Amino acid sequence: MTITMGPHARVCFTFDNMAEAADVGRGVRSAPLLAGSDPSLTVGFPRLYDLLAHHDVRATFFVEGWNGLHHPEAVAEIVTRGHELGMHGWTHEPWQGLEAAAERAAAERATTALAEASGIRPRGFRAPGGHRTAATEAILRDLGYDYDASLGDRMRPARLASGLAQVPFVWPCVDGFHYLRPDPVPAATVRDQWLDRLARVATEGGLFLLICHAFITGVDDARLAALDAVMEAAVKDARVTIQTAGEIARTIEACDA
């Protein structure tokens, strides 16, 4: 199967998770925090939105469906600000360990909650933890999804067996890969690694896709500055096109080799 990407090089900025959903999923919390007390919502998301607006960049936000019930205004804000809304499980379940029935129930519940909160039915999915199951593809197709943004063949967009588009990521382009360690990598080092990868894609072609989080990057000055530098470099580089994950998925063409 031959994959045609269109423009020579593409850049995609994506953001995962919202508020306390993952804590609820892990059993750390049983209910939302009091309004105005979650720093990812009060500090992280506003700062990310400001950064994106400053650079005039549209991004894709993959959030847990639980937020559609408990933070509907925050979910809706993603769409009203002109960004793309994707689904990221119900409460960030360890997706690859779900049985098919539980996976389908979580996907259906999350899709409905996000659609009701935002007025837009999500068309893209990223598996919590990064890995799909053997049932994921069929479940997404049944629910009307256009693409999957989980782990794949490195960072090579493709079409899965059913025709579902895939816009994959790699771990070194995830903020948590560097920062959620006992000894976090300095933000300046992460910045330089990402800038190097961006420069290679701009020269050689392909996809450069980042995943950041409001609770990791959005609330930290140095990490936000690192993302700012990468975004600025992408915007200024005439060799690349910045697109949402959904826009990239729609331009993947598959034909027989």
| DSSP string over 98-128 | --HHHHHHHHHHHHHHHHHHHSS---EE--T
Which of 44, 111, 33 has the alpha carbon at shortest distance from 77?
A: 44
Residues in the chain: 257
pLDDT of residue 29: 80
Q: What is the pLDDT of residue 34?
A: 67
Tokens 């950064």 label which residue? 51
162, burial (CB in 10 Å: exposed 0-12, middle 13-18, buried 19+): exposed
- Strand (E) or helix (H) holding 60: strand 60-63
- CA–CA distance, 172 with 149 (Å, rounded to integer): 15
pLDDT score of 33: 73
Contact 217, 173 (CB under 8 A): no
- Give every residue of the chain whose pLDDT is below 70, as ranges: 1-7, 34, 36, 253-257
Measured CA to CA, the distance from residue 213 to residue 217 in angstroms comes to 6
**pTM to 2 decimals?**
0.94
Dist CA 150 CA 168 (whole Å): 5
Residue 252 and residue 21 in contact, taking contact as beta carbons nearer than 8 Å: no
